[in-house]
Structure 1
Amino acid sequence: MTLGETRRYDGERASSKGERAVVLGASMAGLLAARVLDDAYERVTVVERDSLPTAPETRDGVPQGKHVHVLLEAGRSSISDLFPGYGEDLVDAGALIIDVGQELRHYDEGGYLAPPARRMEMYCASRPLLETVVRRHLAELDGVTIRDNTQFVAYRTDADADRIDGVRVRGDDGLETLEAAVVVDATGRASRTPAWLAENGYGEPPVEEVEIDMVYSTLRVNRPEGDRRMPFVPQSAPRTRGGAAFPVEGGEWVVTLGGMHETDPPATVEGFLPYARELPVEDIETILASHEVVSDGVERYPFPSNRRVRYESLDRFPGGLVVLGDAIASFNPIYGQGMSVAALEALALHETLASSGDGPLGKRFAERATDVVDIAWQMAVGSDAAFEATDGPTPPGASMFDTYLSRLVRQAHTDPRLSEAFYRVVGMEIAPTDLLRPGTVWRTVTP
C-alpha cells in the first residue's frame, strides 16, 4: 500500500476504544502510533528506555541516527497530516527543502537521472531533528505522556493469557505496572514479542531474512552557506560500494559510505577519501577533499539483513497487542524507507481503529500492514537480490522486475518523465506496478 492507495488521515473517524494505550519505544514508529492512538484512547503513555534529549541529539536506542536519512514523500505527506505544521517547524529548526531536479545528483546504472518533469521537493535534516520535531508535536497533546528512562520488563496478561492488559516497567522509582487496553510494540528489530508469543502458546511467527552483509560508515563535514549539493551513489550490482552526502541543519553534510558483501567501508577519517575515490563519480570525493571534517571520528552501523516477521500468519493472536515499525520489518537503509513505512503503518493503524472487524486488533492491523510492507519489501529485496552473494528468499518475479527497472533507470538519464515516475515509486507515492503502464513501458523499451 502506497500513499496514493491510502485513505487520508481523519481523526474524527476513530471511535473510543478504551482508557489507556501504552506504546513501547519512542522511535518514529512509536511516536506516530501514539498520535493515532490519541484519537481512540483517553490516555496514551509512551515508554522509552533512553533519556530523551530536548535538543536534536543522537541516542543509544537509535544507533543508525548519525547516518544519512531521508524522509520520502509518503512519509512527509503522512506526518504532515498527523501533525499540521510539521514541515514548517522542521524548516524553522534548520532543515532544508531540496529541489530534487536541481540539487540531487543521483548516479545509477552508469549515469545521472535527469531532472524530473515536474518540481519535486524533499526535506533534508538529520534523523535526530526529524524525530525531535515529531516528539515536540506529540508532547503538545493533552492525552499523551512520554516517559523516558523507563525500561519495558514484561507483558501482563489476563488469567487465561488470551489478552495483554498491561506492562511491567522499571523507572526511577522501581518496578510498576501500567494497565492498558492495548500495548503497541515499537521496540524495533530486537523485539521480544516473537519469543513471548512462542512461550505463551501462540507459536513463533515465521521470519523472512535476506542477508546482505551491509556496513555503513559516517562522518560530518563543513558545508558553506548556500551549497546544497546532494550527491547519491547507491550500490548497484555488481558494484558493492556506495555513498551519499546529504546537506543537513547546522551548515553540514552528513557523508555516509557503505559496503556490502564483505566490502568494508572505512573505519577512520583518513580512510574516507581513498574509499570515495573508488566510486564511479567524483561528487562525494570532491566534497570530502575540499571541506573540513567536523565530527569526532567515524560512526559505523552494521546491517546484516533485510528482516520481516510474519505476524499475520499466526492462527492465534492475543488481544490487546499491536506490533509495528522495525519490529515487523526492517529494510536496507540505502533505500530510505524506514520512516515512511512507519508513517504509512500509523495510517494503517488509524484505519484499523476506525473500522470494525472480527478478531483481535493486533491481528487485523498485521493483515492491513502487510500491504504497506509488501511494497517496501519488493523494492528493497528485489534490488538487493541482484547481487550474487545476497542470500534469502526473494519476491516472485523480483529478478525480472529488477532487470526492467534497471533499463528504466538508464532511459531516465535522458527522460524526465521516467525520472519522475521512478522517484514517485521510490518515494512510495505510487506502486512499482505503476511503472508497467503502457506509456511508461513504451518509453522504457524504446531505444
Structure 2
Amino acid sequence: MTLASVSRYDSNRLSKRGGNAVVIGAGMAGLFVARVLADTFDSVTVIDRDSLVDEPIARRGVPQGQQPHALLEAGKVTLEDFFPGFGDDIVSSGGVVVDFASDVNFYTEGDFLADGPTRKETFSATRPLFERLVRRRVSDFDRVSIRSNCQFTDYLSNADATTVEGVVFRKDGEEKELPADLVVDATGRTSRTPAWLAEHGYTPPEVEEAHIDLAYSTAFIERPPDDLRTFLVPPSAPRTRGGMAAPVEGDRWIVNMNGVHGDTPPTEFADFSAFAESLPTPEVKRLLDTHPPVSETVERYPFPSNRRHRYEALDRFPDGLLVVGDAIASYNPVYAQGMSVAALEAVLLHQTLATDGREDLALRFFERAGPVIDVAWMLAVGSDFGFPQTTGSKPRGTAVMGRYLSRLTRKAHADSTLSDAFSRVLMMEDPPTSLFRPRIVWRVLKPTG
C-alpha cells in the first residue's frame, strides 16, 4: 500500500469529539499522529524527554537527526494535506525545491538512471528543519499541547491491565501522572511496549530483523545557491560502500558516507575524500574536493538492523494504547522511508477512527497499517539481502525480485519511462507491483540492440 492506494486525508471525516489523548514522543511520527488526533479529541498532549526549542537543531532523543532525511512523494503530499502551505513553510525557512527527475542523480547497476520525463518537485532540508516546522504547525492547534523535558516511565492501567488509562512521567525530578483515553507510543526503536505487554500477561509481537551493520558519517560543505545537484550512490552488493550529497538550507550540501557489514566510514572530515574516491562514480568526491566544509564535526550513526514488530498478527491488545512509527518498524535509512511511512500511518489512523470509532482501535489500525509497512519493508530488506552477509528474516521472493529489478535499473540508464516507474516506487507513490504492468515488463524484458 502506497500513496496511490491510500485515501487522502480529509479532516471533515471526523466530526465527533471528546476525551483526552497522550502521545509519547515528539518526533515526526508522534507529531503526525497528534495532528490527526486533534480532529477527534478534546485535548492532545505530546510529551518528550528532550528540551524542545523553536530552532532547527538536532536533539539528543533523535540520534539519527543529524543524518540525511528525505520527504518522499507520499510524505510530501500527505504533509501538505495535514498542513496546507507546508511546502511554502519549507522554502521560506531556507529549504530547497529539487526536481527528482533531473536534479537527483541515482547511481545503480553501473550508471546513473536516466532523467525522468516530467518534472517531479520535492523538498530537500535537514531533519531538524522538517521537525521544527511540523512541531510549529501542530502547536498551532488549540487542542494540542507539547511538553518538553518529560521522561516517560510507565503506563497507567486498570487492575487487570485490559485498558491503558494514561502515563507516568518524570519532570524536574518529580514523578507525575497524566490520565488519558488514548495513549500513543511514538518512542521509536527504544519502545517499551513489547516488554510492558509481556509483563502484563500479553503475548508481545513477534520481531523480525535483517542485520546489515550499517554505519553513517555525515558532514556539511558549502554549496552555491543555484546548485541543486543531488547524488545518491547506495551500497550495492558486492560493494559495501555508499555515499550521497543533497542540497539543504543554509547554502549547504549534506554529505554522507556509509558502509554496511563492517565497512565503517570515516569519523574525520579529512578522510571523507579518500572514502569517496572508493565509490564507483567520482561526483561526490569532486564536491568534497572543491567545496570547503562548514560543519565542525562529523556525526556518526550506527544502524545494526532493520526491525519490525508484527503487531498486526496479535489477536489481543489492551484498549487505550496504540503504537506507531519506528516503534512498529524501522528500515535501513539509506532508503529514506521513515518520515513518509509515518505520515501514511497517521492517515490510516485517521481513517480507522472515522470508520468505526475507537472500539478495538489498535488491532484495527495495525491491520490497516500492515500493507504500508509491507511495502517499505520489502523495498529496504529486499535490497539488503543482495548482500550474502545479511542475516535474518528474508522476505519471500526476494531473489526473483532482485534479479528483475537489476535488469530494470540497467535498462533505466537509458529509458526515462523505466527510470520514472522505478522512482515512483522508491518515492512510495506507486506500489512495487506497478513495475510488473505489461508496458513496463515489455521494456524490461525486450532484447537490447
Asked whether the equivalents of residues 212 and 391 of structure 1 are also in contact (C-alpha less than 8 Å), the reply is yes
TM superposition shift of 1:111:
0.6
Which residue in the other structure is 1:304 paired with? Answer: 304
- Residue deviations 1:10-41, cap 9 Å, x none? 11212436310000000000000000000110
- Tell me the secondary structure at the aligned position of residue 355 of structure 1: helix
Deviations for 1:318-343, whole angstroms, at most 9, x for unmatched residues? 00001000000000000010000000
Partner residue in 2 for 1:269:
269
What TM-score, normalized to structure 2?
Answer: 0.98
Bigger drift between 393-402 and 317-326 goes to 393-402
1:250 maps to what in 2?
250
RMSD: 1.1
- 1:101 match: 101
Counterpart secondary structure, 1:312: helix
Other structure's SS at 1:413 match = coil
1:395-418 CA distances to partner (integer Å, 9 max, x unpaired)?
Answer: 111110111011111111101111
Structure 1 spans left out of the alignment, 5+ residues? none
- The one-letter code matched in structure 1 to 2:418 is L
Question: How far, CA to CA, are the matches of 2:244 and 2:253 in structure 1?
Answer: 9
The residue correspondences of 1:323-338 to structure 2 (distance < 5 A) are 323-338=323-338
- Give the stretch that moved more between structures: 179-188 or 99-108: 99-108
Deviations 1:114-134 (A, max 9, x none): 111111111000000111111
Deviations 1:46-90 (A, max 9, x none): 001000121100001111111111100000001110111111111
Report 1:162-173 matches (<5 A).
162-172=162-172
CA deviations on 1:142-200 (whole Å, 9 max, x unpaired) are 10000011111110001221100111111237221111010000000000000000000
Task: Name the structure 2 match of 1:280.
Answer: 280
CA deviation map 1:275-321 (0-9, x unaligned): 00000011100000011111112110000000000112222100000
Distance 2:411 2:257 in 1: 26
Alignment check: 8 A CA contact 1:80 1:87 kept: yes
Q: How does 1:208-223 map to 2 (within 5 A)?
A: 208-223=208-223
Structure 1 letter corresponding to 2:361: L
SS, match of residue 386 in structure 1: coil
- Per-residue deviation, 1:357: 7.3
Q: Call closer, same or farther: CA 1:358–1:183 in 2, change over 3 Å.
A: closer
Given that 1:15 and 1:353 are in contact with CA atoms closer than 8 Å, whether structure 2 keeps it comes out as no
Is the 8 Å Cα contact of residues 102 and 119 (structure 2) preserved in structure 1?
no
Q: Aligned AA for 2:27?
A: S
Between the aligned partners of 2:215 and 2:176, the Cα distance in structure 1 is 39
Q: Give the aligned partner of residue 22 of structure 2.
A: 22
In the TM superposition, what is the alpha-carbon distance from 1:101 to its structure 2 partner? 2.7
Find the aligned partners of 2:315 and 2:101 in 1 and give their Cα distance. Answer: 48
Which residue number in structure 1 is paired with residue 62 of structure 2?
62
Q: Which moved more, 1:351-360 or 1:230-239?
A: 351-360
**1:426 offset after TM fit, Å?**
0.4
Q: How does 1:152-191 map to 2 (within 5 A)?
A: 152-172=152-172, 174-191=174-191
Q: Please report how far the alpha carbon of residue 137 of structure 1 lies from its aligned counterpart in structure 2 after TM superposition.
A: 0.6
CA separation in 2, counterparts of 1:224 and 1:98?
A: 14
Equivalent position SS for 2:213: strand
Q: Which residue of 1 aligns with 2:146?
A: 146
Measure the CA separation in 1 of the matches of 2:282 and 2:118: 27
In structure 1, what is the equivalent of residue 133 of structure 2?
A: 133
Bigger mean CA offset, 350-359 vs 88-97:
350-359
CA distance in 1, matches of 2:224, 2:436: 42
* Aligned 8 A contact 1:202 1:314 in 2: no
- Secondary structure of 1:307's counterpart equals strand
In structure 2, the residue matched to 1:422 is 422
Is this contact kept in 2: 1:24–1:30, CA < 8 A?
A: yes
Distance, in Å, in 1 between the alignment partners of 2:18 and 2:171 is 25
Change (3 A) 1:358 1:225: closer
Matched, 1:118 2:109: no
1:404 matched to which residue of 2? 404
Once residues 96 and 269 of structure 1 are traced to their aligned partners in structure 2, the CA distance between those partners, rounded to angstroms, is 24
1: CA distance between counterparts of 2:138 and 2:105? 34
Letter in 2 for 1:64: Q
CA–CA distance in structure 1, aligned partners of residues 231 and 154 of structure 2: 45
Q: Distance in 1 between matches of 2:100 and 2:345?
A: 26
Cα-to-partner distance string for 1:401-439 (whole Å, 9 max, x where unaligned): 111011111111101111110110001111001100110
Q: Aligned equivalents of 1:176 and 1:362: distance in 2?
A: 25
**2:71 corresponds to:** 71
Residue of structure 2 in register with 1:11 after alignment? 11
Whole-Å separation in 2 of the counterparts to 1:226 and 1:10: 36
In structure 2, give the amino acid aligned to 1:159.
A
Paired residue secondary structure (2:387):
coil
- Does the Cα contact within 8 Å between 1:34 and 1:46 map onto a contact in 2? yes
Shift of 1:445: 1.1
Match of 1:238 in 2: 238
Query: 2:305 is matched by which residue type in structure 1?
Result: S
Tell whether the 8 Å contact from 1:32 to 1:343 is kept in structure 2 after alignment: yes
Counting only pairs closer than 5 Å after superposition, residues 81-96 of structure 1 correspond to structure 2 as 81-96=81-96
For 2:315 and 2:358, how far apart are their aligned partners in 1?
13
TM-score by length of 1: 0.98
Residue 76 of structure 1 aligns with an amino acid whose one-letter code is K
